[in-house]
């Protein structure tokens, strides 16, 4: 990506574009399911884009429409500016890496990787050369003559990756490729994918329902829910400025409270939440509120600071009682009772310097209102 951007200062080339793509499944006698509703987005050359959303939101359907496995009910798909709606998957040259790997069980590792090359009728020495290179790059040397069932999960996943990468495709599609792996292997393989994507300068569209995976690597995140695209942007932006309560909940597992608007100023809006008053930047609000409105406030659990009672960290402070605590390795998650409600707080686990708060102990909570998000209450 870096290279191509340096070379031509123009905008990067659009490789893939979806225009108002919808997919409606008709269930006999049972009405219909809108799996994807009017989705539009573009993917530029060299980009790594992640599609994220809860289970059943239509991610796989979107990806399979792009791959050519499903015909959209409405809308158009363009690859390099060419309308491909009527092309089958075999004519699109955009291989897919499947969640269950979909390795051919009756073919060896070599034959699996060579499959697409042979389908393109490449001479056998070129096939052998390319496959050998791929095996080297993905650390599969020595496994060539084995069958997929004789490989570990991680190796199988790398064969699936090699099989797609060896075709040097314009775009590579991933459908939750890591969800069958354990946590450690997942991190390793994710890094591998990212590395290969950069070395080979491949454009990737990557589906996942794991937020860490989505935020961790890509250039851009597209958040979906109920078949619709809710927000797209770089991970930082989506994390810090979720556009809807759904995104705030899904991406950052935010706390939600009713917020009563006390006054609206030029730059800030003064709200009351659980009898505490906060001044929140107007820019954090999804519309211009009026006095006495009731809004929804989203508070990211990571933005709340905990301190032993009596320690002063700032002004936006109140007391609370630890009701529940969960050790999560890198962080500690607390449920803290304050006023008449509770709040989830994620506290970094910095070794040595921090004490763990025990259940029942009193703490002081410090809020950072500049990170609050305010939403209009709908419905």
Q: How many beta carbons lie within 10 A of that of residue 62, not counting itself?
A: 28
Token digits of residue 101: 């790997």
CA–CA separation, 20 vs 245, rounded Å? 24
**Nearest of 211, 205, 286, 287 to residue 252 by alpha carbon:** 211
Which strands form 331-338's sheet, in the order they lie side by side? 305-308, 362-366, 317-327, 331-338, 341-348
Applying CB under 5 A, does 61 fall inside the site for Mg ion?
no
Applying CB under 6 A, does 55 fall inside the site for ligand ATP?
yes
The answer to whether the CB of 211 falls within 8 A of the CB of 13 is no
Residue 347 touches which member of other proteins, Mg ion, ligand ATP, none, C-beta under 5-8 Å by kind: none
The answer to whether the CB of 59 falls within 8 A of the CB of 209 is yes
Q: How far is the CB of 308 from other proteins (least distance, A)?
A: 47
- Kind of pairing, strands 317-327 and 268-273? unpaired
Between residues 69 and 236, which has the closer beta carbon with respect to ligand ATP?
Answer: 69
Applying CB under 6 A, does 60 fall inside the site for ligand ATP?
yes
Interface pick for other proteins out of 79, 167, 273, 365 (rule CB under 8 A)? 167
Between residues 45 and 176, which has the closer beta carbon with respect to ligand ATP?
Answer: 176
Interface pick for Mg ion out of 50, 60, 62, 255 (rule CB under 5 A)? 60
Interface pick for other proteins out of 163, 186, 209, 220 (rule CB under 8 A)? 163
Applying CB under 6 A, does 246 fall inside the site for ligand ATP?
no
Q: How far is CA 35 from CA 62, 172, 190, 229, in A?
A: 8, 22, 27, 12
Between residues 16 and 57, which has the closer beta carbon with respect to Mg ion?
Answer: 57
Interface pick for other proteins out of 5, 73, 99, 370 (rule CB under 8 A)? 99
Residues that bind ligand ATP (CB under 6 A): 25, 33, 35, 53, 55-61, 209
Residues that bind Mg ion (CB under 5 A): 60
């Amino acid at each position: 990506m870096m290279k191509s951007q340096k070379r031509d200062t123009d905008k990067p080339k659009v490789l893939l574009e979806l225009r108002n793509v919808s997919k409606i499944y008709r269930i006999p006698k049972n009405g219909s399911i809108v799996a994807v509703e009017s989705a539009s987005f573009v993917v530029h050359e060299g980009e790594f884009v992640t599609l994220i959303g809860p289970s059943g939101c239509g991610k796989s359907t979107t990806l399979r429409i792009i791959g050519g496995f499903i015909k959209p009910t409405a809308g158009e798909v363009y690859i390099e500016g060419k309308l491909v709606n009527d092309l089958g998957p075999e004519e699109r040259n955009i291989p897919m890496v499947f969640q269950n790997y979909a390795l051919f069980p009756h073919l060896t590792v070599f034959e699996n990787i060579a499959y697409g090359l042979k389908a393109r009728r490449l001479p056998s020495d070129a096939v052998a050369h390319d496959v050998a290179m791929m095996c080297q790059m993905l650390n599969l040397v020595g496994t060539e003559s084995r069958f997929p069932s004789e490989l570990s999960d991680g190796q199988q996943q790398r064969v699936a990756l090699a099989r797609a990468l060896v075709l040097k495709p314009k775009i590579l599609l991933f459908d939750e490729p890591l969800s069958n792996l354990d946590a450690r292997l997942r991190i390793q393989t994710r890094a591998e994918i990212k590395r290969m994507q950069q070395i080979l300068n491949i454009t990737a569209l990557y589906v996942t329902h794991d937020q860490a995976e989505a935020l961790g690597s890509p250039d851009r995140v597209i958040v979906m829910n109920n078949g619709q695209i809710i927000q797209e942007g770089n991970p930082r932006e989506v994390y810090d400025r979720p556009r809807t309560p759904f995104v705030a909940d899904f991406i950052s597992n935010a706390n939600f409270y009713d917020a009563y608007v006390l006054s609206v100023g030029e730059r800030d809006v003064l709200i009351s939440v659980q009898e505490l008053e906060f001044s929140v930047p107007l820019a954090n609000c999804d519309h211009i509120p009026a006095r006495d409105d009731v809004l929804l406030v989203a508070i990211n659990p990571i933005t709340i600071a905990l301190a032993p009672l009596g320690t002063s960290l700032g002004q936006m402070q109140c007391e609370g009682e630890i009701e529940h605590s969960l050790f999560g390795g890198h962080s500690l998650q607390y449920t803290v009772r304050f006023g008449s409600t509770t709040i989830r707080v994620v506290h970094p686990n910095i070794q040595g310097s921090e004490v763990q708060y025990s259940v029942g102990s009193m703490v002081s909570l410090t809020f950072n209102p500049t990170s609050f998000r305010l939403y209009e209450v709908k419905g």
